């Protein structure tokens, strides 16, 4: 039997807040009520036929909840009443990955500085409405700039507690 | 921070988003069963290991996820160019 060592941080410290936290110029909250899909297709037109709508073609572009992450890969975050067609039998993959990730939302004029504390990208130059996969410290995230001062960060759920606390640590006067 | 230009994203991105993938343009044998031990050893292990221009594979793991090729100087660590997988050797 494998024994799993206890983590060196107390459970009390590693709490993923379900309540938003307000800091000086920045608010951190959990994006609830979302469905997520990972979509792959070599030919975007086939995927568009399945979905009955256009998908962004440029890497980093987004359109109404669909982000183009790679030349054949899209990531979807939509309110949880959406159900996308799966395109059975066609050369596409539309997979519900809702439970795989959580969304953390940073809002306010101080949000950019919190993200920049761990992300190596020049996020100040990232346009509103753009999304990209990248890292925060060593944790993979998808960063979505929803508005000038509103950033949606998707993270795999086993990393979410750590990321929440890392954001908190970078938020001035968080309470 | 070392920036690497991803030919798919068409952007210079931080090195930590990438993973190194070894020497480029090494074709996998179509029929390995016809290979002698020496040929198989050559395919698996023998690399050019140059001092200077090196053709190598990289993957934009924490970005678009794509493999691509790069020419990097193994002395200065300067990337001369990057290009999409499948394109001719530069
Ligand atoms: Zn890329």
| C-alpha atoms less than 13 angstroms from C-alpha of B39 in its C-beta half-sphere | 10
Task: Concatenate the DSSP letters of all residues of A126-172 into one string.
Answer: SPTTBEEEEEETTEEEEEEEEETTEEEEEEEHHHHHHHHHHHHHHST
What contacts A43, CB < 8 A, 6 or more positions away?
Answer: A91
Name the fold adopted by B3-28+37-84.
Folate-binding fold (3.30.2270)
Angle at A138 between CA A132 and CA A141, to 5 degrees: 30
Residue B65 CA to ligand 1 centre (angstroms): 6
The CATH class of A34-96 is alpha beta
Q: Where along chain A do its domains lie?
A: 15-32+99-169, 34-96
Task: Name the minimum distance, in Å, from the CA of A119 to any CA of chain B.
Answer: 10
Residues A132-169 pLDDT 10s:
999 999 999 999 999 999 999 999 999 999 999 999 99
Task: Name the minimum distance, in Å, from the CA of A103 to any CA of chain B.
Answer: 17
Name the fold adopted by A15-32+99-169.
Gyrase A; domain 2 (3.30.1360)
Residue B20 CA to ligand 1 centre (angstroms): 13
pLDDT > 90 fraction of chain A, expressed in percent and rounded: 85
Residues A42-84 pLDDT 10s:
999 999 999 999 999 999 999 999 999 999 999 999 999 899 9
Chain A residues within 8 A of B65 when measuring between CB atoms: 69-70, 73, 133
Does the fold of domain A34-96 match that of domain A15-32+99-169?
A: no
Q: Where along chain B do its domains lie?
A: 3-28+37-84
**B17–A60 CB contact, under 8 Å:** no
| Of the partner residues B8, B62, B66, the one whose CB lies closest to the CB of residue A135 | B62
| Of the partner residues B1, B8, B62, the one whose CB lies closest to the CB of residue A133 | B62
Look at residue A15 and tell me whether its pLDDT is greater than 90. Answer: no
Write down the pTM of the prediction: 0.90
User: Pick from A151, A150, A128, A149: which is nearest to A141 by CA?
Assistant: A151
Look at residue A17 and tell me whether its pLDDT is greater than 80. Answer: no
pLDDT in tens, chain B (90 residues): 899 999 999 999 999 999 999 999 999 999 999 999 999 999 999 999 999 999 999 999 999 999 999 999 999 999 999 999 999 999
* Other beta carbons within 10 Å of B19: 13
Start-end of H helices in chain A? 44-51, 111-116, 157-170
């Amino acid at each position: 039997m494998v024994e799993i060592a206890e983590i060196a941080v107390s459970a009390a410290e590693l709490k993923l807040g379900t309540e938003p936290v307000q800091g000086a110029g920045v608010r951190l909250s959990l994006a609830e009520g979302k469905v997520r899909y990972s979509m792959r297709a070599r030919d975007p037109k086939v995927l568009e036929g399945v979905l009955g709508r256009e998908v962004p073609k440029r890497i980093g572009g987004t359109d109404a909840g669909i982000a183009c992450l790679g030349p054949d890969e899209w990531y979807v975050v939509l309110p949880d009443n959406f159900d996308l067609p799966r395109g059975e039998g066609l050369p596409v993959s539309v997979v519900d990955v809702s439970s795989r990730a959580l969304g953390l939302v940073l809002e306010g004029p101080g949000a950019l500085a919190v993200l920049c504390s761990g992300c190596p990208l020049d996020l100040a130059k990232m346009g509103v409405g753009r999304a990209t996969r990248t890292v925060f410290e060593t944790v993979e995230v998808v960063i979505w700039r929803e508005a000038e001062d509103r950033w949606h960060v998707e993270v795999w759920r086993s990393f979410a507690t750590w990321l929440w606390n890392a954001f908190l640590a970078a938020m001035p006067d968080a309470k | 921070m070392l920036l690497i230009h991803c030919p798919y994203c068409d952007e210079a991105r931080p090195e930590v988003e990438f993973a190194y993938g070894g020497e480029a343009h090494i074709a996998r044998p179509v029929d390995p069963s016809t290979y002698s031990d020496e040929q198989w050893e050559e395919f698996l292990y023998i690399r050019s290991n140059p001092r200077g221009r090196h053709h190598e594979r990289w993957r934009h793991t924490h970005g678009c996820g794509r493999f691509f090729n790069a020419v990097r100087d193994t002395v200065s660590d300067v990337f001369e160019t990057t290009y999409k997988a499948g394109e001719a050797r530069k």
